[in-house]
C-alpha cells in the first residue's frame, strides 16, 4: 500500500531560471549579472551561477536600474512565451521611487516627449537658413 505520491521540490540553476523567466535575454547575460553580485537569493548575496533555486525562494535583483524582488512559484521547463514566464514568479518588488525623491543628478534630467530628440538633417538645414548660414 503506497501512500500519496509526493513529487520532490524541483530545483533549477539560477542562471537557467533567470533565462526561463525572461528576466534576461540569454543565459550568458544571466551568468554575467549573477557573477557581478547583482542577485541575492533569500537575502544572501551569491556569485554562483549554478546555485539551485526552487519554489519558495526569494530573488532580489538589480535589473534595468531598479530593484526587483521575485518569489519563485515554479522553476519551469523551457523559455516559453511571456505569459508562461510570468507564472513562474510573483513580483513583490517595492514601488518605484517617485520622481521628487530621486537624486539631484537624476532629478535634473528633464523628461522629453517621444520624438522630441535630436533634429533631423532637414530640420537642421532649415535652422541654419534661419540663422543666415549656408544651407549646403
Q: In what order do the strands lie in the sheet with 66-72?
A: 44-45, 39-41, 58-63, 66-72, 89-91
Given a cut of 50, whether residue 1 has pLDDT beyond it is no
The answer to whether 22 and 82 have CB atoms below 8 angstroms apart is: yes
The answer to whether 51 and 13 have CB atoms below 8 angstroms apart is: yes
pLDDT value of residue 15: 95
pLDDT value of residue 95: 86
Start-to-end C-alpha separation, the chain = 91
**Which whole number is the average pLDDT over 56-78?**
91
pLDDT digit string, tens, across residues 13-41: 999 999 999 999 999 999 999 999 999 99
Please report the sign of the dihedral spanned by the C-alpha atoms of residue 86, residue 88, residue 92, residue 93. Answer: negative
Residue 91 burial by CB count (10 A; 0-12/13-18/19+): exposed, middle or buried? Answer: exposed
pLDDT value of residue 134: 65
Distance of CA 55 to the CA centre of its chain: 20
The answer to whether 51 and 14 have CB atoms below 8 angstroms apart is: yes
pLDDT digit string, tens, across residues 74-123: 988 999 999 999 999 999 998 876 766 777 777 777 777 766 778 889 88
C-alpha cell at 26: 540569454
Given a cut of 80, whether residue 7 has pLDDT beyond it is no
Given a cut of 90, whether residue 4 has pLDDT beyond it is no
pLDDT value of residue 94: 87
Q: What distance in Å separates the CA atoms of residue 58 and residue 69, rounded to the nearest whole number?
A: 7
Amino acid at each position: 500500500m503506497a501512500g500519496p505520491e509526493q513529487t520532490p521540490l524541483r530545483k533549477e540553476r539560477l542562471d537557467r531560471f533567470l533565462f526561463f523567466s525572461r528576466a534576461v535575454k540569454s543565459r550568458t547575460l544571466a551568468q554575467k549579472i549573477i557573477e557581478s553580485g547583482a542577485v541575492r537569493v533569500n537575502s544572501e548575496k551569491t556569485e554562483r551561477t549554478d546555485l539551485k533555486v526552487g519554489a519558495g525562494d526569494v530573488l532580489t535583483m538589480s535589473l534595468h536600474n531598479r530593484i526587483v524582488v521575485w518569489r519563485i512559484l515554479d522553476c519551469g521547463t523551457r523559455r516559453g512565451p511571456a505569459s508562461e514566464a510570468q507564472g513562474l514568479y510573483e513580483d513583490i518588488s517595492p514601488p518605484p521611487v517617485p520622481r521628487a525623491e530621486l537624486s539631484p543628478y537624476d532629478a535634473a534630467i528633464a523628461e522629453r516627449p517621444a520624438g522630441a530628440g535630436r533634429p533631423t538633417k532637414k530640420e537642421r538645414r532649415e535652422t541654419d537658413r534661419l540663422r543666415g548660414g549656408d544651407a549646403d
